[in-house]
Structure 1
């Protein structure tokens, strides 16, 4: 399932359900909420949380995963297709920064 994040300050950002829930947890929102809002007053703290999570994710080593979903030591980093939170959250970070600059909230599920 896709979750659409919207703001009048920028284009919509679509995220798969799992990634959206990770993002919502990161900013302190209920991950199972079907609808929600990041108010203008909440945006600075949310932006700081996402920046910190992106920085932390980029320091994590990549691990290969076998067909059963188990981590495998010594995976081939050249062909690793792991896309972490640090990559998935960048469009949302940009959306929130634009929303803050224009003093517009960010909503989802509406």
Structure 2
């Protein structure tokens, strides 16, 4: 495989968005996070074929947006995901779930759709 074709195959990313504390008022968010620790951030975990900055901008513009990110999204938290990116689609799909589980187990409040 040439470096160019490898780069094309590895253009997916996982990303983490910090959410406002106001998201805690959402019953579905609270229900998904029974072990949330108050000292930890509330976050959304996603995956995309776009650059995470562009994907966040699209969420905030209401384009293919998750409602929690649209209403409560504050900023990206690259320190939680940069180490994994970029990657192939299948790896990103799996990593989205694994990252969400890991953050929830660490006490974060997590939404992952």
Using the size of structure 1 for normalisation, the TM-score is 0.28
Choose 1 or 2 for highest CA Rg: 1
Q: Which is helix-richer, 1 or 2?
A: 2
Using the size of structure 2 for normalisation, the TM-score is 0.28
